[in-house]
């Protein structure tokens, strides 16, 4: 990765989550402290893991997003020489550290401000946080362009498109096709889905992910958010974005061109592939991931998504077509409904029903001129959803 004494400086925002731990695994397999310097690591409530990561990789700064856990993190890193910070200001401090490459893997709106800070100083951003594009969209991209930053998508679907989207042929792109596994309820009826619990919904058939993203995958809200992200990432119209259910999760996404050609990126389902590509870009590095055995694979299946059982896809199209702050409204309402489902306060199917009701109620919100407008729309959506749940 590095030559001579030259080391790449990295910051990992959200190092204790599933994307963050996979990122550190890739870093260590590509030489660890021999090839990389860790400017900062951030986490939330898992202080023991954050402290262990910081010591193991020799981070200069460790930050917990929970300001009340500052003392605990400080004590855990006592005598290490590692600086400690906490809260929103600490996350921004981490993002502003001199690091050429930043993994933006903080989940939720908490990731917006630090990722913006990294964009404004021109970092290469490995983007795993969804809110930056779903909620902030054009405002976030404006900050990226003004700061001279570069976005490297980490979601497996967007990373796949990034790999096969030929820059010199962008004029010839007709469509992109995002693949979806269909999750654990691909073949379930509406009546069966009505009674599932969070523990059942979290059991993804192909990917190993955190609780919330696993449930979002089961409801296909994760795919809905990816549709909105893709529109912003690749400058597409809503009608150019398609979704196909592909149970094997071997083809991660495709790009269709005006000559009828379709280019696809394939690989075994392992987030380290996308992370490693973003970390090594524009080169490729050897990664210890499983290789595809086509003879063993034998078949690839595809089917159209059922938007009656999975209305999240329809709601994403509605948000894209409406524009403005509707992405923030959808996401804020979804997050509130998801929390309620996890706590068994509402059923699985009620999540999409609540999101649609919130979008109906807030359809006339004005477009965002500032990030404060985005946060205000998100807060209004969460408040409206909470009222419906009560």
Q: How far apart are CA 332 and CA 319, in angstroms?
A: 13
Long-range Cβ contacts of 92-96 (<8 Å, 24+ apart): 92/117, 93/40, 93/61, 93/63, 94/11, 94/13, 94/39, 94/40, 94/41, 94/42, 94/61, 94/63, 95/11, 95/13, 95/40, 95/123, 96/121
Please, where in the chain does CATH 3.40.50.720 lie?
8-153
Residues 243 and 252 sit within 8 Å (Cβ to Cβ): no
Question: Which positions of the chain have pLDDT values less than 50?
Answer: 1, 3-4
Q: Which CATH number fits domain 8-153: 3.40.50.880, 3.30.360.10, 3.40.50.720, 3.40.50.300?
A: 3.40.50.720
Q: Enumerate the known binding-site residues.
A: 16-19, 46, 129-131, 155-157, 181, 204, 210, 217, 222-223, 226
Task: Give pLDDT, residue 297.
Answer: 87
Phi-psi region at 141: left, alpha or beta (left = phi > 0; alpha = psi -120 to 50): alpha
Asked if the peptide bond before residue 51 counts as cis, ω within 30 degrees of 0, the response is: no
> b vs e for 194-221, b when ≥16 Cβ sit within 10 Å of the residue's Cβ?
eebebeebbebebbebeebbbbbbbbbb
- Which of 62, 64, 63 minimizes the C-alpha distance to 45? 64
pTM of the entire structure?
0.92
Q: Enumerate the known binding-site residues for NADPH.
A: 16-19, 46, 129, 131, 210
Backbone phi, then psi, for 247, in 5-degree steps? -60, -30
Q: Enumerate the known binding-site residues for 1-deoxy-D-xylulose 5-phosphate.
A: 130, 156-157, 181, 204, 217, 222-223, 226
Q: Enumerate the known binding-site residues for Mn(2+).
A: 155, 157, 226
Tokens of 33: 């402290």
Task: Give pLDDT, residue 141.
Answer: 97
Q: In what order do the strands lie in the sheet with 173-180?
A: 241-245, 173-180, 251-257, 262-266
Torsion of CA 202, 206, 208, 214, to 10 degrees: -30
With a CB cutoff of 8 Å and minimum separation 6, the contacts of 353 are: none
> Over the stretch 113-142, which tens digit does the pLDDT of each residue have?
999 999 999 999 999 999 999 999 999 999
344 CA to centre of own chain: 25
- Which of 48, 58, 44, 46 minimizes the C-alpha distance to 114? 44
């Amino acid at each position: 990765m590095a030559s001579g004494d030259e080391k790449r400086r990295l910051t990992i925002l959200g190092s204790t989550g599933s994307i963050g731990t996979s990122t550190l695994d890739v870093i260590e397999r590509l030489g660890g402290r021999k090839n990389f310097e860790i400017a900062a690591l951030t986490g939330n409530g898992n202080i023991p893991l954050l402290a262990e990561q910081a010591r193991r990789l020799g981070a200069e700064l460790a930050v917990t997003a929970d300001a009340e856990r500052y003392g605990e993190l400080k004590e855990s890193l006592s005598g290490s020489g590692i600086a400690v910070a906490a809260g929103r200001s600490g996350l921004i401090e981490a993002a502003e550290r001199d690091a050429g490459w930043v993994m933006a893997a903080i989940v939720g709106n908490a990731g917006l401000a630090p990722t913006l800070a990294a964009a404004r100083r021109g970092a290469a951003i490995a983007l795993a946080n969804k809110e930056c594009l779903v909620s902030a969209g054009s405002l976030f991209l404006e900050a990226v362009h003004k700061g001279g930053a570069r976005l490297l998508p980490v979601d497996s679907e967007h990373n796949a498109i990034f790999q096969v989207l030929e820059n010199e042929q962008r004029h010839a792109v007709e469509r992109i096709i995002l693949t979806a596994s269909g999750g654990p309820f691909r073949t379930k009826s509406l009546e069966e889905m009505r009674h599932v619990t969070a523990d059942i919904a979290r059991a993804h058939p192909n990917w190993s992910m955190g609780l919330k993203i696993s449930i979002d995958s089961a409801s296909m809200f994760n795919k809905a958010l990816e549709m909105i992200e893709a529109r912003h990432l690749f400058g597409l119209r809503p009608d150019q974005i398609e979704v196909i259910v592909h149970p094997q999760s071997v083809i991660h996404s495709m790009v269709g061109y005006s000559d009828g050609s379709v280019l696809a990126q394939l690989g075994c389902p392992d987030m380290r592939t996308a992370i490693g590509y973003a970390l090594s870009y524009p080169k490729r590095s050897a990664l210890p991931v499983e290789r595809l055995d086509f003879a063993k694979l034998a078949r690839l299946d595809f089917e159209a998504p059922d938007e009656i059982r999975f209305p999240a896809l329809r709601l994403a199209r509605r948000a894209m077509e409406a524009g403005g702050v509707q992405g923030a409204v959808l996401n804020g309402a979804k997050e509130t409904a998801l929390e309620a489902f996890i706590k068994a306060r509402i059923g699985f199917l009620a999540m999409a029903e609540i999101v649609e009701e919130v979008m109906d109620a807030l359809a006339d919100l004005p477009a965002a001129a500032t990030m404060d407008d985005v946060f205000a729309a998100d807060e209004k959506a969460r408040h409206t959803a909470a009222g419906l749940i009560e």
